[in-house]
Amino acid sequence: MLTSRTAETAATIRTVAVIGLGYIGLPTAAILATNGLDVIGVDVNPNTVDAVNNGDVPFAEPDLGIHVAGAVSRGRLRAQRDTPSADAYIVAVPTPFKADKSADMSFIAAAARAIAPVLRGGELVILESTSPPGSTRRLAELILGMRPDLSLDGRDGKPALLVAHCPERVLPGRIMIELVTNDRVVGGLTAEAADAAAALYGVFCQGEIHLTDAATAEMSKLVENAYRDVNIAFANELSVISENLDIDVWELIRLANHHPRVNILQPGPGVGGHCIAVDPWFIVAADPENSALIRTAREVNDAKPGHIVEQVGNAASGITRPVIACLGLSFKANIDDVRESPAVQIVRRVAMLRPDADILVAAPHEDRLPQELAGCANVRLMETDQAIESAHVVVLLVDHDKFRDIEPSSLEGKTIIDTRGFWR
Ligand code: SAJ
């Protein structure tokens, strides 16, 4: 339930600054703008700023283009590099991990330093970036450190800053749908901040909005992704065991999932993307001694690309100058995102393992090889049919719908390594 005061606060929000126009920030900015708010997107990348101001989207996501183009043409959304004064701020910047697997908070800290000087008091600041427990409080402390004239609760007559965490939970490829339909968890540093943030998300979110404190909201996001990671690790471990026992793992999982309380996910070439492959480490970093299962799941999933490389090496052993077709580069199907992609890692490692091999990559969603592969002289981007035609070994890395067009007869006589059970 919103208190009347915070409902009032939310009703006074007319302008929202969204800091970070990436996979989460830009869709959120666009949906707020199409729901009638004035939104200023802020990004350090001038190409992103230009693209948005031209009504374009700098990455592929279904239906995002229509929202951005519409909001920009109606004057509701614009982008710039400087942080403006606004009624509410949504921080949606990356939180990558460092070499020691702890979270790199530098982007959040930079956002806090940019927001602090433009505050007037009474604004709402929401951290959306997936972050370790305690990050929302640290963000607030950074801002208040620069603005001792403000407070979190109006104490000593200092105007209050409403600070909350509202983690995003949308699935790439379905972002514009899930932004509207998913339930959300909103955690405030104060109950008022949680109420105000919930009221803002209520502008477009049709799911239920659950209120809690900031640390629990931070942890709930990490736990959701760690839960999925553990389940995928279970499937990946089963895939290796099944291979050794000469059992079809996909058939095995299909049958086990007929049990009313069993729901095993699917094995694959490893876990990629910027969420599930990263977030569980924040839990491990927060309590290393008590997170053995979460850490092991990460290690099992991280070991899977190496297992696939070994399979490819075995399939190509005995062939001089083998031609190896690798199908797909993104971290999952039907998107162009190659962040932390196991497919990219596998191609790179196969290229190093067999420098004499010709590695032909078919990636229907990319028009060039990613940076990690640019230095591999024996890796080339090709049309799918061409890549398959001359290949001795065909490795299916991503289950893109576009690969459904591949004629089964074109695969005859070749060694197939199907990491996703695509052709079962
Ligand atoms: N994967 C498998 N087997 C499966 C499912 C996925 O190997 O059965 C692999 C995918 O191929 C991919 C990786 O896992 O490499 C991650 O893909 P995903 O579809 O599981 O998740 P993401 O990273 O696209 O999005 C996740 C979602 N989290 C959960 O489902 C708990 C999404 O709701 C979050 O918003 C997102 O992380 C995020 O931003 O945190």
Provide the annotated active-site residues. 221, 275
Question: How many helices (H) and strands (E) in the chain?
Answer: 15, 13
User: What CATH homologous superfamily does 226-418 map to?
Assistant: NAD(P)-binding Rossmann-like Domain (3.40.50.720)
Q: pLDDT of 83-112, one tens digit each?
A: 999 999 999 999 988 888 889 999 999 999
For the chain, list residues with pLDDT below 50.
1-6
Give the distance (Å) from ligand 1 centre to CA of residue 36.
31
The answer, yes or no, to whether any atom of ligand 1 lies below 6 A from the CB of 280, is: no
Q: Return the residue matching tokens 């290949």.
A: 391
Sequence-distant (6+) residues with CB within 8 A of 234 are 264, 265, 297
Q: pLDDT of 318-357, one tens digit each?
A: 999 999 999 999 999 998 899 899 999 999 999 999 999 9
- Mutation test of ligand 1: which of 225, 262, 279, 337 has the most ligand atoms closer than 8 Å to its C-beta? 225
- Domain positions in the chain: 4-207, 226-418
What is the predicted pLDDT for the residue at 3? 47
The answer, yes or no, to whether any atom of ligand 1 lies below 6 A from the CB of 292, is: no
What is the predicted pLDDT for the residue at 424? 87
Sequence-distant (6+) residues with CB within 8 A of 99 are none
What is the predicted pLDDT for the residue at 9? 53
Indicate which atom in ligand 1 lies nearest the CA of residue 333.
Answer: 11
Indicate which atom in ligand 1 lies nearest the CA of residue 182.
Answer: 33
Q: What is the DSSP letter of 157?
A: G
Sequence-distant (6+) residues with CB within 8 A of 203 are 32, 35, 36, 37
Sequence-distant (6+) residues with CB within 8 A of 187 are 136, 164, 165, 166, 194, 211, 212, 213, 214, 215, 216, 217, 218
What is the predicted pLDDT for the residue at 1? 45
Alpha-carbon distances of 32 from 92, 122, 172, 173, rounded to whole Å: 14, 20, 18, 19
Query: Do residues 148 and 112 make contact, with C-beta atoms less than 8 angstroms apart?
Result: no
What is the predicted pLDDT for the residue at 12? 83
Query: Do residues 359 and 347 make contact, with C-beta atoms less than 8 angstroms apart?
Result: yes
Domains 4-207 and 226-418 are alike in CATH topology: yes
Query: Which amino acid is it at 289?
Result: E
Q: Which CATH architecture has domain 4-207?
A: 3-Layer(aba) Sandwich (3.40)
What is the predicted pLDDT for the residue at 8? 57
Its sign, for the CA torsion 102, 106, 111, 117, is positive
The answer, yes or no, to whether any atom of ligand 1 lies below 6 A from the CB of 272, is: yes
